[in-house]
Structure 1
Amino acid sequence: MTTLYIAGATAITMNQERRVIDDAVLVVTDDRITAVGTATEIEIPPGAEIIDAHGMIALPGLIDSHAHAGHGLTRNLGAGDVAAWFDVCEAFYTRASTADFWRAEARLSAMERLKAGITTCTMLLGGGSDHYRTETTEAGDLHCAATREFGLRTNLAVGPNQPPFPKKYRSLDLSQDIDVSFEQQLETCRALIESHNDLLDKGTGICLIMPVYQPDEYAQNPDEIRSMCNDVMALRDEFGVLFTQDGHRNGSIALAETLGLCGPDSYFSHSVDLTSEDMEAALRTNTAIVHNPSAIMSIYGRCPVPELLEMGVNVALGSDAAAPDRGYDMFRHMAQCLHYHRRHFRDPAVLMPKQVIEMCTINAAKVLGLETELGSLEVGKKADIVLLDRQKAHLFPPMMPLTTVAQFANAADVDTVIVNGKICMRNRSILVDEAEVLASAAAELDKALRRTGLLHLLVE
């Protein structure tokens, strides 16, 4: 049995009362929180390791509800040319990536998330425009291995591409072109579920994904799209996994309801320019929405977060990953969320710091169906804890911790990260060789750019 006694922090518990405790004490026994209170209430257990957290803010481990594997090595590419960046994603993810590429990217992204205090993340195995690396299990296996190496939790979203099939891919050893079928991708998803679906203890969960369809797209190919939806939902129901989608907008949620894709086990990202029918469908089916305020889609349209929250729809926050123009800094995304909607309504009282913290803690845990296990600092929950160093000019004076976290903090302020009761980072030092992770990522990006003839995209 291992015991941690964390003392002196200001604890933002995110419990049902949203209690904030000054000079707090947290006790961790093995993988669980076993006490939350103050030093006058909680004695030091015999043999406990004492962590002096004076001058820090304690938070539940942050949860990023929507990101993309692969994007760690496409950051900046295109220099603002969105079409060029999407072309990079397609080229890398389907034709120019190797096992070493996916391993290096997974480790780079895991390191960035760890150093930003993100203990749990939903990560799509590809993307850019529904290019998922699910012709075999290899890329998914590598991503799960990186998650375990860094001690984090990843809910890996895997699924099929858009029709028509077959899709043209290049094998990961680059030896041959291959035709990838819908059935092949679905069988890969099954195999990944059977191998890796244990988010709470192993740290690797698997959920399913499939492309979003607009009503006009569906009208052109209704029979095949409905058949694919039925097959994906059958697999979801067989294993009881979650279902997510990337890029809902303007009528697509209402259509998704008719296709049987909505429900309490579903969460949909972006969700911009929603119709009233979309919003009502989300509420009626208890489908969660993931808002990505720093993403390109939030430039092209707006997710109606305050309105959805007012209706009673659960809304979580997502980074949308590290590319092309953002990163895994959830503090940045919290602040962006506040300013984004306040600017829309021209009202500085729209949304409050507590609400955006909820969106990447307890609300996000509800998205995963794990609100009794994650998302708050409470007795009995998994010990996923972040300590934020507030002994910095931009976080002073030491007051109003909710505002401090949501509007002034950044990823570099994260000092200590505990996941499942294990210290994964202390004093910003981790157990993995950071220089080796960075060098591998740089080398694999260079190789992929040379394979695709896209080195010119490095020009600003």
Structure 2
Amino acid sequence: MVDLVVSGAYVITMDGTRRVIPDGAVAIAAGRIVAVGSSAEIEATHPGAPSLDAAGKVMMPGLIDVHAHAGHGLIKTMGMEDGDRWERICGEVYTQASPPEFWYAEARLAAMERLRFGVTCGVSLLGGGDTIMRTDDPAYGAAHCEGVAAIGTRSVVAVGPTRAPHPRTYASRDADDRAAPYPVDFERQMESCRTLIRDWHGRGTVNLALLYSVLRDEHETTMPAADYAEAVRQAKSVRAASRELGVLFTQDGHWRGSIRRAAALGLLGPDALLSHCIDIDRDEIALSAETGTRIAHNPSAIASILGRCPAIELMEAGTVVAIGSDATAPDRSADMFRHVQQAMHYHRRHFCDPSVLPPGKALEMVTIDAAEALGMADTIGSLEVGKAADLILIDMQRPHLYPVNMEPFRVAYFANGNDVDTVLVGGEILLQGGRPVRTDMAGVLADAQREAERMIARIGAEDMLGLPDGFWSRARYPETQAEGDRP
């Protein structure tokens, strides 16, 4: 007996043949897809089953975001026009001003945003992936995982140590919300990560990944020799732990020779996901393909302004490339339709060729290719028998999506996250009619607002809430504000 039949939709399956079914349906039992076909066929095979009418909608696999940041959702836009102040705010918050309640509230907000936009699975780095991770104590990661689990979307939570040198100063908050600083070394962070993996990996909709900061050529000359040698040791240690524990290994911020360096350190492989990868060389493209390493391309990120990710060349070499939002750091949301459209324009402008990155391939990069990049293609990423019933319904009854024809083109070029009407994860309806079913959105928003205000007060950043000089009536910000790091 099936639990639910969803019928009457234009179905984009993303299966091996990329089958589309104009009047299609899926049957779901115990959270899995048990049949995919025409509405007439499925309804005849499962008469009397509970049903959901999806007429006038496009059904497709839930979208997958392969690179984003936990914590940033309560800091978005703060200080982004003032040099590297955004980075400094993140560093201060993630080490000194973010109790578990902060991580719980931000996790629920980010997961709710994903749910509303039809993103059923996403990677979330527990802090800033390049330098500061909130892994001094497992309580923070646990609070994040609990927040995601409360919403019900899937998440791959990336944890890892802050790059050498150590110790780093972190702080907990006492009953009066006063900071209590303490030193944190590499071993303590790794023990925290192992605890989180033991407690949360594979629990419900949550999985864990391990992360270590990218080592670039510049670090060998800018870091003291002893610190650089220790960073190399740590990188190898974290990578060995990812293999031992059977979790994804990821890195944030590859560029200009860093993939070559990662290869020399033995970090690459089909269970490795490298983010950004801008201005990499031809030999690095070849290394990625030869080792089966996966790439998270973030076309809307500031890094993709400062350099170019050769996603087209990587895919043509045989590398799996998927799209990440890099949300919400600091000027972009988790709306994966936005990033699909950005990716197409980004590469077409580079090649001055509108035939580059066809819309179907771009949609693959947020569904089946993204599932492959996470090592989860056996479970999610397409609508096929045996896979988890993670699917979304896009409401086509909207002026910007009309007339209703050529639906895959309409979805790729014109849809946005607010067009998502219904979301199922593991067969459970989490969003219907554009509204969450399991969780009260007003409560999630109120909790996020309260924790953001507390965080701002802790770091004394009230001045960041106004409009900066140059916001109005200028073609660009003053030079001192434009000079920043690579978020």
Bin for the TM-score computed over the shorter chain:
over 0.9
Structure 1: how far apart are the matches of 2:83 and 2:443? 30
Answering whether residue 345 of structure 2 is matched by residue 332 of structure 1, we say: no
Listed one character per residue, the Cα deviations across residues 221-276 of structure 1 (whole Å, up to 9, x for unaligned) are 44212211221122112211110000000000010011111001000011101111
Answering whether residue 220 of structure 2 is matched by residue 213 of structure 1, we say: no
Alpha-carbon spacing, 1:172–1:127, altered in 2? closer, same or farther (3 Å): farther
Structure 2: how far apart are the matches of 1:305 and 1:403? 21
State the partner residue of 1:97: 98
Distance apart, 1:127 and its partner CA: 0.5
Query: The residue matched to 2:188 in structure 1 has which SS?
Result: helix
Alpha-carbon spacing, 1:79–1:213, altered in 2? closer, same or farther (3 Å): closer
Answering whether residue 361 of structure 2 is matched by residue 355 of structure 1, we say: yes
1:262 aligned to which of 247, 265, 268: 268
Query: The residue matched to 1:171 in structure 2 has which SS?
Result: strand
State the partner residue of 2:457: 450
Distance apart, 1:18 and its partner CA: 0.8
Structure 2: how far apart are the matches of 1:45 and 1:172? 56
Answering whether residue 383 of structure 2 is matched by residue 377 of structure 1, we say: yes
Distance apart, 1:97 and its partner CA: 1.1
2:129–2:251 CA contact under 8 A, matched in 1:
no
1:3–1:47 CA contact under 8 A, matched in 2:
no
Query: The residue matched to 1:376 in structure 2 has which SS?
Result: coil
Alpha-carbon spacing, 1:82–1:280, altered in 2? closer, same or farther (3 Å): farther
State the partner residue of 2:21: 21
Moved more, 297-306 or 400-409: 400-409
State the partner residue of 1:225: 231
State the partner residue of 2:481: none
Answering whether residue 114 of structure 2 is matched by residue 113 of structure 1, we say: yes
Structure 1: how far apart are the matches of 2:189 and 2:114? 28
Structure 2: how far apart are the matches of 1:230 and 1:333? 33
Listed one character per residue, the Cα deviations across residues 206-225 of structure 1 (whole Å, up to 9, x for unaligned) are 11000001123135544212
1:90–1:129 CA contact under 8 A, matched in 2:
no
1:367 aligned to which of 373, 381, 388: 373
Structure 2: how far apart are the matches of 1:40 and 1:19? 17
Structure 1: how far apart are the matches of 2:212 and 2:412? 32
Distance apart, 1:128 and its partner CA: 6.2
The one-letter code of the counterpart of 2:345 is H
Say how many residue pairs are matched.
458
Query: The residue matched to 1:279 in structure 2 has which SS?
Result: helix
2:95–2:132 CA contact under 8 A, matched in 1:
yes
Alpha-carbon spacing, 1:128–1:256, altered in 2? closer, same or farther (3 Å): closer
Structure 2: how far apart are the matches of 1:114 and 1:130? 28
2:189 aligned to which of 185, 188, 196: 185
The one-letter code of the counterpart of 2:198 is E
Moved more, 1-10 or 220-229: 220-229
Structure 1: how far apart are the matches of 2:21 and 2:408? 12
The one-letter code of the counterpart of 2:90 is C
Structure 2: how far apart are the matches of 1:46 and 1:187? 53
1:5–1:44 CA contact under 8 A, matched in 2:
no
Aligned residue runs from structure 1 range 193-342, under 5 A? 193-198=197-202, 202-218=204-220, 220=223, 221=225, 222-342=228-348
Distance apart, 1:47 and its partner CA: 4.6
Distance apart, 1:75 and its partner CA: 1.2
Structure 2: how far apart are the matches of 1:26 and 1:337? 30
The one-letter code of the counterpart of 2:25 is V
TM-score, normalisation: structure 2? 0.92
Query: The residue matched to 1:328 in structure 2 has which SS?
Result: coil
Query: The residue matched to 1:66 in structure 2 has which SS?
Result: coil
Structure 1: how far apart are the matches of 2:121 and 2:129? 22
Structure 2: how far apart are the matches of 1:77 and 1:377? 40
1:218–1:225 CA contact under 8 A, matched in 2:
no
2:242–2:249 CA contact under 8 A, matched in 1:
yes
Distance apart, 1:80 and its partner CA: 2.9
Q: What residue ranges of structure 2 are gaps of 5+ in the alignment?
A: 468-487
State the partner residue of 1:72: 73
Structure 2: how far apart are the matches of 1:241 and 1:432? 29
Aligned residue runs from structure 1 range 46-85, under 5 A? 46-85=47-86
1:86–1:129 CA contact under 8 A, matched in 2:
no
Answering whether residue 441 of structure 2 is matched by residue 434 of structure 1, we say: yes
The one-letter code of the counterpart of 1:60 is P
Alpha-carbon spacing, 1:48–1:447, altered in 2? closer, same or farther (3 Å): same
Aligned residue runs from structure 1 range 160-175, under 5 A? 160-173=161-174, 174-175=178-179
Moved more, 168-177 or 388-397: 168-177
2:427 aligned to which of 394, 397, 421: 421
Query: The residue matched to 1:41 in structure 2 has which SS?
Result: helix
TM-score, normalisation: structure 1? 0.97
Distance apart, 1:2 and its partner CA: 5.5
Structure 1: how far apart are the matches of 2:352 and 2:173? 50
Q: What residue ranges of structure 1 are gaps of 5+ in the alignment?
A: none
1:264–1:286 CA contact under 8 A, matched in 2:
yes
